[in-house]
Every structure is written in C-alpha cells, then in structure tokens.
Structure 1
Amino acid sequence: MIGLILLLTWGALQVQVTLAGFLNGESVWSKAEKQTVIDLLNFAETGDAARLASFNDNYGLLISDGRARDAIASGVFDRADVHKAFARGRILPAAEPGMIFMLRYLTNARHMREAVEAWRAADGPIAQLGGIAGDLQRAYAQGRPDDALIAAQRARINALNDELEPLTKRFSLEVAHGAIWLGRVLFVGVFFAACLASLLWLSMAQRALSRIRGTEERYSLLFDSAADAIVMVDEASGRVLGANRTAREWTGLSTEVLIGTELSRLFVPLLHRADGAVTGELHGPDGRMRPVEMRSSVAKWGEQSVRQSILRDITERVNLEQQRRIASEALAGIAEGVIIADAERRVTRVNAAHIRMTGFTAQALQGVRFDDLRSLPDGSPLPDSVWKAIDIDSNWVGEVRSRRLDGSAYPELLSISAIRDPDGGVQHYVAVINNVSAAKANEKRLQYMAAHDPLTGLVNRAEFERRCVQAIAQAERDRGMIAVLFIDLDAFKAVNDSYTHAIGDHLLVKVAERIAYELGERGLAGRIGGDEFTVLLGDLYSREQASALAGRLLTTLAAPVVVGEYEVALSASIGIACYPLDGMDVPTLVTNADAAMYAAKTEERNAFRFYSPRMHADVLRRIALASELRKALAEQEFRLVYQPTVDMRSGRIVAVEALLRWHHPERGAISPGEFIPMAEKLGLIRRIDQWVLQAACTQMHRWDLAGVPPLRMAINVSAHWFGQANFVDDIRSLLESRRLAPERLMLEITEGAILRLGEEMERTLHALHALGVGVAIDDFGTGYSSMRYLKLRAIAYLKIDQSFVFGLPDDSSDAAIVEAMLTLCRNLGISPIAEGIETEEQHRFLLRAGCVEGQGFLYSKPVDPDVIVQLLSPGRRQGGPHLRLVPPESI
C-alpha cells in the first residue's frame, strides 16, 4: 500500500512537471508566433533584412516544435532531435520525459486530444506565413514592390494572425483542463490507498501496543529515575535519539532540543582510560562544564546500531584529585624542606627540597624517626617539652642542629605540626625545615659590618664606644684603670693630595695593620674617621703602661710604608686620656684624648701627650672657632691685603697677590694657617675662595676706574673649587662683569691639588688656557712633585717656595735647588717667581741665577688697597729703590 501511494504521488508530481513543461513551451511558442507576425509586417512595409532574419528565427522554432510533435506521435523519432527542438523551445529538461510520454501515448485522452488538434490546426496558417515571407523576399529582391502589393500582403498577414490567436488560447486551456482532470484521478487513487493503509496500520498497531505498553512503562520508569545521565545515540550519525530526565537536567535542554543533537556538541572527551571509560566534561546551563565519566555499550534497534552512554558525575572525585595534585605539586615545589611522618614520627615522605638540603631520600629514611637526626644547638636530643607543646598547640617552632647524609651538620629552623584524626589522635606529623646557615652567616656578617670599619677592618666609632662602656663598667667593679689613645696621622692630607685617594686608602690599611699588630691581644683598636684611630687599653695599673704602648706605636708608624711603587714616610700624634682620672664616661674620655692629641700635633708632632685640663680650653677654643668661622662671611669679617710682585731687574711692581685676612671682632687678627684648615674641614673653603676672587676682581675694577695702571692679580684657589665643573664658567662670568682682561688674572694652586684632581685638573687647565687666564704652581718643590704637569701650556708661572729662598746664598743645597728650578723654567718657557725675599743678598743671587720676578718683605709687606694706589702713583716711591711704577704699555 505504501508503494502504491508513493507511485501515485510520483505520478501526480510528474503530471505537474509535465504541465509546467507544456505551459512553458506554449508560452514560448505563443511569443514566437506573435513575433513572426510583427517581424513579417515590418518586413513587408520596409523590406528590412534584419526583420526578415528575426522572422526566420522565430518561424524555425514554430516549425521545429510541430515536427517534434508529429515525430513523437508517430512513434519513430530521434531523441537527440527531439531534445534539440525542446531546448530551442525552452522546455524544462525535467518535463521532457512526461511530454514525450503524453504525446506518444495519451494524444487521445480527454482534453489532450483537443489540445493536440488545436496545435495541429495552427500548422496551416504558420506555413502560409512562411509562403508570404518568401514572396516578399523575392519581390524586394527585384526592387521595392508597389504599395498595393504590400498592402495586400499585410492584410493576409493580419488575417492569418487573427486565425492563430484562438487556436493558441484553446491549446493552453485544454492542457490546463487535462492536468486538473488527471490530478483529480490521481488524488482519488492516493486517498483510497491511504485510507486502506491506515486501516491496516491501525489494526496492527493496536495489537502491538497491547504487547509493549507494559514493557515501555517499566523501561521509561527505570530510564528516567536513574541518578546518572543516560543518552541513546545513533552509532552512525552520533546524534542523540533519546535522553533521560537526569541528562535533561544536567544539560539544561528539553527533550525536543536534545533529540537530534550530536553528542560531541554536549560531551568533550579528555581522557580514554584502559577500562573503556572516558572522562570528560558535559556542557551544562550557562556554559558551565560538569566533569563526568562516560561508559558506553552498543545495541541493535532493528537494523540501526544504537550506543547507550551512561554519564556519571565525578565532580567530587575531580575536586579531591585536584586537591591532592595541588598538594603534591606544592609539596614538591616548595622551597622549604618538608617531612611527612606517621604517628610514631617515622618518615613516610619527603619533598625535593629536603633531599637537596640533607641528601636523604624517602627510601633512605624508611623506618627512621626524623627527630633522631636532629638535636638542639648544644647537641642534646629534642626534649619531651617539644612533643608536649605539639599536643597542646599542634605546632612547635625552634632552631635545631640537623645532620646530612654525608655526616655534616648544619643549623636548621624546624617547624613541626600535628595532623589529627576525627577523634583528636595524632595521625601524622608534618615537619618543615629551613637551612639557616646562610642567614646566620649573613647575620654575623651584618653584625661585623655594623661594628667594623669597611676599609681597615678595625672597629668603628659606635662599636669602640660600646666596648669602652663595658671596659669602664669592668674597671669600676674592679677599681681598675683604662686608657683611651687618640691617634692622628701627621701630614696625611698632603700625602692624600699628592697621590691618589686609592694610595691614601692603602696607606690607612697599612697603618691599621701596624696598630693592630703592635697592640696584639692587649687592647682594642678602632678607626673613627679619616686618618684618626683610637686604642682602648684595659686592666691597667699605671699610666706608664699606656705611655710605653704609645712610644712603640710612634716608632712603628714612623717606619716608611711601601704602597705600590711609592715609599711614604709618615708620623703620628697621640693623645692619651685615662679613666677615672681624665673622665668618667666614654664621650669625655674620647674628647679629652682628642684634645691631648691636638696638643701633641701643635707642640711637636710625632709625639704623645697625656691629657691635662689646660688642653680642654684649647678644644673649646677650636670648637668656638669653627662656629664663628661660619658667621665670618655673613658678618663681612674677612678682608684682603695685597703684596706686590716686582721685576727684580728694575724694581718695578708688575703684579700683586691677594692675601686673605680674618679680623675677629673679639680675638682680633686670626692667622690663615689657623682658620684655612678649619674651613676645609667644615666645607666652607669653596665659598671663601669665591668671595676672595670676587673681592679681588672688584678691587681691580676700582683701581681701573681710579686710573691706576693695570696690574696682574694673583689669587690662591683651593682644589675644592678648582675641580668643580662650573669653575671656568664662573671665572669667565666674573671677568666679563668687571670688564677685566683674562691675562690680568693669575690663579695660584698647589702641586698637591693638581695631583689630586687628576684628569679633571687637566681639563680645567686647558679651559683656562683657552680663556687666557694664567696658572701658577704655588709652593713648588715642597710637596710630592710630578713634573708631567709642567708640560701643560696653561702653567705660565712657577713660584719658588720661601723655604728654598731662606738659606740663600750661603746654603749650597738651597742654591742648587733654586738654580735647578730656574733652569727648568727657562727650558720650559715658564716664568719663575721667588717668594720670601727679605735680604739684598737673596735678591742679587736670584737675579744672577735668572729669576725675573720676586716678592717678599724686602720689597713690601702685604698692604691695604690704598697703599697699592700710593705705590703706583706718579712720582711716588715707597719702600726703597726696588719699587718702580710699571708703565701701562708693558702689561
């Protein structure tokens, strides 16, 4: 019955397709028929060849359709020729078989017979149209026909058109009626076949339902009540055929949506296990993923293979596994060593960090109690109090001494925790260990660094004072005596300036080694800053013990020290203060020892002195001087005096040197040798240098305004300012503001400062030379000379120190040194200037030796600016025959 229904349905479909083919062909045929009439009318009127060609094309389509129809009806036809005719008539390919069938076998059927008759009736008028076209073509071939012929032919064409139109409409109408009639016949057949099939199916279904209703109800109850998700999947397509209630709840999808959905879109497999189970994730509502385990079995539903998949929620198991994995990875990756032991403290597991620290693996520790390998720092076993503390607080932390696999020991920070069962009993112990060897070593190193000088390794000031406090407390209990020695190196600054700071640091290290060696175990040595050292002597019974040590220290420190390629000779001054005679506390003892050292340095050097109360007054005076020096600049207590420099051949003044003086409002005049070192220590020397330079340049500007002949001004500059990056810029700005020529300024700097500044000094000298400012080396020969700097073009002058001039001309050594200096200056093109000339004999010797310029008390003492004006006034002669006015043109 189903086959019959399908056959009838297929027949109805073919009828519809055939009908569509006939109607489509009729539409094309009708258009072609109308176009032939239109083209023929136009050709008859105009004789246009294009119109004739269009007529022939449409006429050929009409003729081919008629030939194909008659060929099919006769039963003898070529399918290729028929297909070509149908294609020319734009017949649907799918309709060709039906049309051929109907034209071959059903031309006598109801409505089909009338339609074919109408089609064949149109063949005659169409043929006549072809004859008219031939007559018109021949007529136009001989020239344009007369109008009467054309009008007659057009009348014939219109008459044939009127004859064809009803035939065309009749054909279409009969085809449509035939299709409707045939469709009704087929529908009735399908309807009766469907009714019969339905009756048969209902009868069979009623019997089948009565048998399976009970089984289906039981299966559905078990299927939907299962705690696991169950889905039935088509093995071939992978689509869901059925799902239980749990599956719908877990996926959040209804039965209608689930059925037909591919299982791969719901379940993401992650791991295929050896037992056939697959673990993965099931898509849930809102994009949530549920971890599940799927087991599947294949069954046959008739010819269809169906896979029953049971999905079990394993969220709890996954969480537990993840927690175990995290715990395991954390245990393996933690930097601290971890030991897990049972209730008897026997090791069951250790991590990688423990193995790295101790060398013991878990296998090596099987059956071993972890506390057997550890003891307290003093070597005693871990006491029972440790386990009692764990019983009470579940944790104990402390430092122990642990043993490695190779038998070596190391300090360890041990933390033990207890893991208890539900009843509160200890189930496991977890011990976390940290090797604190590096930490303890760092702690000791930091303690050492905090208490010791980083350069010399001696104790620093804070540690020295702390140890002094302990020594005083011990001496107070024992009614004993202690001594504090304050050691300061003599002329260390000159050494540091002449060589590099690195050489100076090496020298300090050598001094510290000598002090420590001489002291031995009898006391404590410290460095409290710079070149100042201290020594603590305890358990003394007389001051002579301190003086004996001080004498040995002076002897030791006076021995030459070899530093690199240099051999340096130093001395020291030592001050001594004793408890309880010279002070009852540490600050007092150190201060008084410092005062005694200063007294030794001032009075003699390379000596030691015990403290006396008189020294305290000197210390207070120096402290007060430092405080008052800070206010001297603001209170304008400084002033400049000027000492002339003369041309030794003519006695004329060629330059003046600006010299700084401090007139204290209460103490009166204070020597530069007293306050200049203090200014250097306080960091004020740069400000003083700037003030001196500004004041001297200002004075030169005033002399110029007063009409005084221009002079060269010599100004002493310290290394603290000379080496600054903006030094040359400051000089340039000052000269421009005072409208002074650069060659009128001469800067004096000691050779020690030149050596200390190194490459920075060379850059500054080159910049000064480019500016036009001359540089003089002051006190030449008194320091640690380096002749290399004499080659620099900026060095224009060399001042011979008065210590070499003093013995002239009688002292042969001084004479030889001075002559050597003058020869050096002549060969290098440097102008020499002798200082401290006080006698005529000195003047004559230097002049004969080739010295050009000199200064000293023989010519003039340092004087005020007004005196310089008087000395340079026309017709004025001051100080004897050696002073003359310098002609302006010689500058």
Structure 2
Amino acid sequence: MSNRLSTIDPMRIHSGKQRTQELGDTIRRVARLCTLVVVLPLYAEAAAQSPTPSPQAAATTAFNTAPTPPQDHQHGFGPGLSAATIALFAALAFGLHCINRKRARALKSAEEQRALLEALIDASDDLIFFKDRDSRFRLINRAAAQVIGRPPEDILGHNDDDFFPGEEACAFHAADQRVLSCGSTQRFEERVRHSDGHYERYETLKSPVTLPDGTVLGLLGVGRRLTQERRANDRLRLAAQFFDNAAEGITITRPDGVIEMVNPAFTRITGYSAEEAVGQTPKLLHSDRHSEAFYQRMWDSLAQYGRWQGEIWNRRKSGEIYPEWLDISPVRNEEGQLIHYLGIFTDISAAKTSEAQLEHMAQHDSLTDLPNRNLLNDRIATAIRRASRDKRTVAVMFLDLDHFKDINDSYGHETGDLVLKHVAMRLHECVRDEDTVARLGGDEFVVLMEDIEDAEQADQAAERILASLIPPIGRNEQEFFIGASIGVSLYPRDGDSVEALLRNADTAMYQAKQLGRNNAQRYCATQTETTRQRVKLENALRHAISSETLNVWFQPQVDLQSGELIGFEALCRWTDPDHGTIPPDIFIPLAENNGMIVPLGELVLRKSCAQIRHWREAGFVPPRVAINVSGRQLRRLDFLGVLCTILEQEQCRPEWIEIEVTESDILKDAEPAIATLHGIREMGIALSLDDFGTGFSSLSYLKRLPINTLKIDRSFIDGLPGDANDRAIVQAILAMGRSLGIQVLAEGVENPAQVAALRLMGCSTAQGYHFGRPALAETHLGRLACA
C-alpha cells in the first residue's frame, strides 16, 4: 500500500472518478488487513479464554464416559483399566500441547500482521484511521495523529468530540453514521482544523468493515489533502475558463510564429474560425497599413524588453480594417527556453469611435457643429506660425448678429437656434474651403482667413458675409432679417498672438455697432484706447451707483401763458473725481448697454422722492416732479413693488410725482409695458410720454396708454418758427393732444421766438434753457411757493 501511495504524483490532475477508484483500491487493501488483524486476535482470545481440563478431570471424564463393565467383572479387570486411563491422559496432554502451539502461532501471526499494517499506514502521507461502530478511533496512522496533534495512543478509544470543535465533530460523526447505515463506500470533502489552528481541505473515502457473516465492525477512512491540488486545479480551470470566455482575442503561436491555438473571441473579432487560423501565421490579419519597419521594431522591442504592446490595425475576414490593442508576451519553460508566444488583443473600434466623437464634441459647437473657441484658438495659432514662416497675412473677423436677442425674447430660443443654424450655414458657404468659421457662443462668430494678400481681400470677404445675410430666414411663415457687425484684425499688423487678434477684432466689431451696425470695420489702435476708456468709465459708473455719489438736478417746467412754475423734471448728473463731469448722453447709453440702468433709475427715483420730502419739510409746496424710468425698469416684474417701497420709505405721496417714459422703450415690448403703466396710473401717479414723434408713433398704442402728458421732442422745436415741417408736426401733435384730452409740453425751448410760436399754436406748457437750466435743488428755492 505504501508503494502504491508513493507512486501518485500530487501535482497530477485527476478527475473525480479516477481519484475515487484509486482511493477505493487502497481502502479495500487496508480493510482486508484490518479485518485480519482485528478478527484473528478475537478468535485467539476466545480460544484462550475457553477452560482447559486438568489431567484429573480428563481422567475422570474419560472414566465416566467409558463403558461400564459388568458388575461381575469389576474386580477382575482393575490393572487394565489403569493403563487405558494413562493412555487417555497422554493423548489429552498431547492434544492440548498442539492447541497451545497453534494458538501461539496464530497470536504471533496476528502481531506480525498488525505490525506490518501499522508500518504500512504510518508510511503513508494520507490520513488513515479505523473507527468502531460508536465512531471511536481503534486505529490511526502517524499522519492523522499529527493533524490532531496527539500521540496515537492518546487518540485510540476516543471520538471526534474530544479533538475537534463541535460543528466539525458533528459533521464527521454524521458522515460516519451515513457510511455505516448504507453499508457502502462514500466520498466526502471535509474541512479539517489542524492542531495549530489552520484549516485544510481533504477528500476522504470512508468504507464499512464487515466480517464474512455481515457483522459490521466499524469503518475505515482514508483522507488526502486537497489544498495544493485544489489550487492547481483551480488555476487550470480558471485559465481554461478565461481562455474560452475572455472578451479579448487570444492567440498562441510557436516560436516560429505559426498559430497553434485561438480562443472563441478571436473568431468573433476577426471572423476566422479556429480551423482556418491554426497552422497560419499572424500575417493572415495584416491590414497593409503598417510597413515592414513597423513589424521589425515590434519584434526588436519584444526581444529586448520581453514584451510588446501597442495599437495596431488589422483586417477581418470580411476585409474590414479595424484597430486593436495588442499585447505580445513570450512563454518559456522551466529551463528558460522559448516555447510559445502569447498574443492578447482587444478590438478598440468602438473606443476609437467614441474617442473621435468626444474629441469632436470637445472642439465643436453642439448647435451648429462649427469649431468652438478651443479649436479656433488652435487653428489661429497654427495660422500665425505658417504666416510667420511664409511672410503672409492672416485675417480674423469677429462677427456679432444685430438685435438677435429680440428674436430669442420674442419668438423663443428654439426659433433663435434655427436662425443661428442658418447663419452658420451661410457663413460656411460664402468663405473659402481653407477658411475656418467658428462659433464662440450666443450670436458671436469668428471667421479665420489664412494666406491672404492684403487687407482689401479681408474687406471683400466681410462684404460677402454681410451680403449673404441679407435674404430673410423663414420659419412658420415668419421671416427674420438678420444683420451683423463685423470687426477685422490682421496679422502681423494688429497683433502677433491669438489673444491679441481676437481682442482687436472684437474691438473693431464694437466700433461697427457704434457706427450704426450691419457694417464691417477694420481695427485701428485708437479703437483700443476708446475701448479701454469705455471699460474704465463702466467701472467708475458702477462705483458711483453703489456709493450713491450721482446727483439729481431739477429743470423747471412753466406755463407758457403765465410763466408760472408748474413742475420739475428730475435729471441725473455725474461728476467723477478721475474723469470729471460726464454728460448724460455718455453715461446713460453706457448704463443701458451693460444693465446698470436699473439700479441707476432706482437711485434717481429714491433721491427725487427724498428731495420732495425735504422741500415739504422745509415749508415749501413744490410742483409735481417728473422722474424718468427706463424701459428695462418697466419690463421688470417687481417694478411696481419697488416703486411702492420707495414711496413708503421716503414718505412721498403718489400725486407728488410723475413717471416719465420714452416712446421707444414702450414700443420694444408694448404689452407688458402698457400693463405696468396702468398699474402706475392706478396708484395715483401721473404719466408722461417723452420724445413723442421720434419712435414711429402708433396711434393704436397711444389711445391705450393711460398718459397725462405728451412731450414734444426738442428735435421738432429746434426749427421753430422758420421750419414749416417742424411747425406742421408740432401743430399736429397739439391737435391730437387736444382731441384726446392730453396735455402737451414742448421740450428744448431756448429762445423767445420759439416761445411765441408755441403760444400762437396753442401749446400751454414748456421747458428748456429759456426758462431755466437743470440745477441742484437749492438753486430753485426762490421759485418755490411756501406752504
């Protein structure tokens, strides 16, 4: 048995059936020996314990069992009877001697068999033990005793409960009873705790041991350690599963490159079956995109570093070329000899496509698919390098759509996006193929022109762009007319960096907007200075509003017939410590453009109400004060709330003020403005319409406005009394006012001739330098009536 067990290679991989058969053969041999060792001593012990008759008893027995002679012959045969008795005693003694010799030989043979069995099982690395029907150990080898951690003599007669934790002992006992009850050999996989506390797994075969008459003496167990073998099996099984189920293609080749094995993923990726690939070389997949030098570098790297990995293009069986990530490693045997090459590759077509899409998204505008700022900056930088090398000119055109915000606000962003797409298409169609059209965001576009001869060529391109935008863009039976303001900067004249060219083109574009929009302007250095001054002025205005250092001046309004003071107009004036006095026609448009007009208007409204309260607290009775409100303020949803708050905080009654709005502000978004004006009127505040006649007045809107006063713009007063057209317009406005029951006030009256003409035409009120210039509140104290 020892020789049999020693020939089993522990690293060899066996199937479950082979292992069971091998252990079964072993356990049957051991069982026969155990039966012999166990049974023979039992018989010998039974013979030894049977009573041996003494010579006297034997003689008595023999005498008693001999035939009784006739009574009449008793005294005649006495000597003969003694000889027979002696012979019988001798025969019995010889028989007993033979029995004792046989018993001694049987005991010696049993001891030899037991010693042989113990030596045999102790020589085995497997765990071998014999248990009786009560699961007590009756025989155990050295390997099993080492697992328990006790000498064999301390184990015999005990059961598993004395050496193992409760759950393990119960499991061992249940397995023993299962074998004894079914009477057949069974295989178990058990987790056994060693004496030092660590666990190992064993495969154990347990077989019942029976006598020839069927009596069950116990069971014999043989256990073999599974830990190392299980690990080896698991590694091989895992490797096989990985090979068959891996998503990556796997190729195993001989050192000469001939394919020996491929996995299913190889077939799925390349289209070649295992039968078609085995026996071929990887040249089967070559795409012809790589030169021989590429493959030579691959093999040189593999020889030098022991591995090569990288991106490679191969061809499927269908002819489609695809990218893959390939990793090649050599496989060597224990002696270090190269026996195989292992190639693992992944189809990265989807990753390449996603990468290209992400790169495109990162460099292109999502709405128009034009290059975005990042890609534009890169292309401008490249164009500058080329132009510097070739001594050529580069043009950068910054384009901003005129009044595009009105489309978004009036028709929604969906319509605005459609317009932007049409603009992008037209821009792309009217430039050269080598030019770049980019969208920076919103309604801002940039056109990059490389390799131009002079500035005139850039001017011509700008004119083509403006012409391409002339045709209307239609949507849902609605036509949109789009104009653009274009600024042009040139390399190297206007800058030698991406930032400088874009900044200067933007500056020139702003100049185009100031010159009436829908035109193109080339950059010049003075524009930069103008822009810088504008930025400085904006910052100063913000500080002035936040610190409330702007002043409110008042200009009188008079009755033309009596000359009496009937009102004031509150006007904002600004004197900056660094810039000096800033005219209203400079800082008011600036505030309109950057959104500061809202806090500025609230500041003027608050200061005007506070001044009215101061006048009244001082004992004066000032006339009604007209306060200008911008269209941005009117369109704010919280304007009425802000107005009420200011009146309450400054303790100013609604009838003491008049809100003055311009006609053009109302017409930009008429409906919300009209609703707000009605709200103001319901508060008891008078309304006046400024600059009437300059905004293409609509009589349909005029009759809906709850206004008290129409103010004739000064542009119609300047020509009086000599300009017939101005006279006709003024007369028409006065007539309309009388028919609608609206008071009419003339602005900008500066001389007596204008006063006389207005009186003759029936104008009742006016304001202008002729009656008084705007001034601080203290200047007008002499004209105010006392309470």
> TM-score normalised by the shorter chain: which range applies?
0.5 to 0.7
Q: Quick one: distance in 2 between partners of 1:500 and 1:652? A: 51
1:511 aligns with 2:423: yes
1:597-626 CA-partner distances (Å, limit 9, x unpaired): 344333343333334444444334334434
Match of 1:304 in 2: 216
Deviation at 1:400, TM superposition (A): 0.6
| Contact map agreement 1:645 1:854 (CA 8 A) in 2 | no
Aligned residue identity for 2:703: T
| Contact map agreement 2:511 2:521 (CA 8 A) in 1 | yes
Match of 1:863 in 2: 774
Q: Quick one: distance in 1 between partners of 2:240 and 2:319? A: 29
Out of 191, 212, 223, the residue aligned to residue 110 of structure 2 is 212
| Contact map agreement 1:486 1:593 (CA 8 A) in 2 | yes
1:847 aligns with 2:737: yes
Match of 1:294 in 2: 204
Match of 1:548 in 2: 460
Match of 1:874 in 2: 785
- More deviation, 854-863/565-574: 854-863
1:475-501 CA-partner distances (Å, limit 9, x unpaired): 343333333333333333444444444
Match of 1:248 in 2: 145
Unpaired runs of at least 5, structure 2: 1-45, 53-98, 163-167, 718-729, 750-765
1:213-237 CA-partner distances (Å, limit 9, x unpaired): 33333333323333221122447x6
Deviation at 1:460, TM superposition (A): 3.4
| Contact map agreement 1:525 1:535 (CA 8 A) in 2 | yes
* Matched position secondary structure for 1:802: strand
Deviation at 1:201, TM superposition (A): 5.2
* Matched position secondary structure for 2:767: coil
Match of 1:716 in 2: 629
| Contact map agreement 2:633 2:639 (CA 8 A) in 1 | no
Cα 1:732–1:297, aligned 2, differ >3 Å: closer, same or farther?
A: same
Out of 332, 342, 358, the residue aligned to residue 430 of structure 1 is 342
Match of 1:280 in 2: 189
Deviation at 1:685, TM superposition (A): 5.0
Match of 1:739 in 2: 651
1:714-747 CA-partner distances (Å, limit 9, x unpaired): 45357499758x8777666544432345787787
Match of 1:265 in 2: 171
Deviation at 1:647, TM superposition (A): 11
* Matched position secondary structure for 1:413: strand
Deviation at 1:519, TM superposition (A): 0.8
Match of 1:172 in 2: none
Deviation at 1:789, TM superposition (A): 6.9
* Matched position secondary structure for 2:370: coil
* Matched position secondary structure for 1:439: helix
Out of 684, 687, 691, the residue aligned to residue 802 of structure 1 is 691
- More deviation, 546-555/289-298: 289-298
Q: Quick one: distance in 2 between partners of 1:674 and 1:215? A: 125
Cα 1:278–1:853, aligned 2, differ >3 Å: closer, same or farther?
A: farther
Q: Quick one: distance in 1 between partners of 2:289 and 2:633? A: 56
When the two chains are superposed, the root-mean-square deviation of aligned CA atoms in Å is 4.6
Q: Quick one: distance in 1 between partners of 2:144 and 2:443? A: 90
Q: Quick one: distance in 1 between partners of 2:633 and 2:666? A: 21
Q: Quick one: distance in 2 between partners of 1:398 and 1:721? A: 66
Match of 1:231 in 2: 129
Q: Which protein is bigger by CA-based radius of gyration? A: 1
Q: Quick one: distance in 2 between partners of 1:387 and 1:359? A: 25
* Matched position secondary structure for 1:410: strand
* Matched position secondary structure for 2:300: helix
Instruction: State how many pairs are aligned.
Output: 635
1:311-366 CA-partner distances (Å, limit 9, x unpaired): 22222210111222334455566554444444444455555655554455545533
Deviation at 1:401, TM superposition (A): 0.9
Cα 1:499–1:296, aligned 2, differ >3 Å: closer, same or farther?
A: closer
Counting only pairs closer than 5 Å after superposition, residues 307-706 of structure 1 correspond to structure 2 as 307-330=219-242, 336-350=248-262, 354=266, 356-360=268-272, 362=274, 365-370=277-282, 372-375=284-287, 377-378=289-290, 383-521=295-433, 523-563=435-475, 566-633=478-545, 637-642=549-554, 658-665=570-577, 667-672=579-584, 674-676=586-588, 678-679=590-591, 684=596, 687-706=599-618
Match of 1:823 in 2: 703
Cα 1:494–1:798, aligned 2, differ >3 Å: closer, same or farther?
A: farther
* Matched position secondary structure for 2:303: helix
| Contact map agreement 2:160 2:173 (CA 8 A) in 1 | no
Cα 1:866–1:256, aligned 2, differ >3 Å: closer, same or farther?
A: same
Counting only pairs closer than 5 Å after superposition, residues 166-205 of structure 1 correspond to structure 2 as 200=49
* Matched position secondary structure for 1:256: coil
Aligned residue identity for 1:222: L
* Matched position secondary structure for 1:248: helix
Aligned residue identity for 1:441: T
Match of 2:26 in 1: none
1:828-863 CA-partner distances (Å, limit 9, x unpaired): x67675563765635522322415355544622583
* Matched position secondary structure for 1:521: coil
Out of 713, 736, 749, the residue aligned to residue 836 of structure 1 is 713
Deviation at 1:414, TM superposition (A): 1.2
* Matched position secondary structure for 1:247: helix
Unpaired runs of at least 5, structure 1: 1-196, 749-775, 807-813, 876-887
Cα 1:322–1:645, aligned 2, differ >3 Å: closer, same or farther?
A: farther
Q: Quick one: distance in 1 between partners of 2:336 and 2:540? A: 79
Cα 1:214–1:331, aligned 2, differ >3 Å: closer, same or farther?
A: closer
* Matched position secondary structure for 2:319: coil
Q: Quick one: distance in 1 between partners of 2:209 and 2:521? A: 116
| Contact map agreement 1:224 1:244 (CA 8 A) in 2 | yes
Aligned residue identity for 2:713: G
* Matched position secondary structure for 2:693: helix
Aligned residue identity for 1:281: E
| Contact map agreement 1:638 1:663 (CA 8 A) in 2 | yes
Cα 1:596–1:697, aligned 2, differ >3 Å: closer, same or farther?
A: same
Cα 1:536–1:222, aligned 2, differ >3 Å: closer, same or farther?
A: closer
Aligned residue identity for 1:246: A
Deviation at 1:410, TM superposition (A): 1.5
| Contact map agreement 1:709 1:872 (CA 8 A) in 2 | no
TM-score, normalised with respect to structure 1: 0.61
| Contact map agreement 2:630 2:665 (CA 8 A) in 1 | no
Q: Quick one: distance in 2 between partners of 1:481 and 1:465? A: 17
Q: Quick one: distance in 1 between partners of 2:439 and 2:313? A: 37
TM-score, normalised with respect to structure 2: 0.68
Aligned residue identity for 2:767: S
Cα 1:728–1:325, aligned 2, differ >3 Å: closer, same or farther?
A: farther
| Contact map agreement 2:251 2:262 (CA 8 A) in 1 | yes
* Matched position secondary structure for 1:519: coil
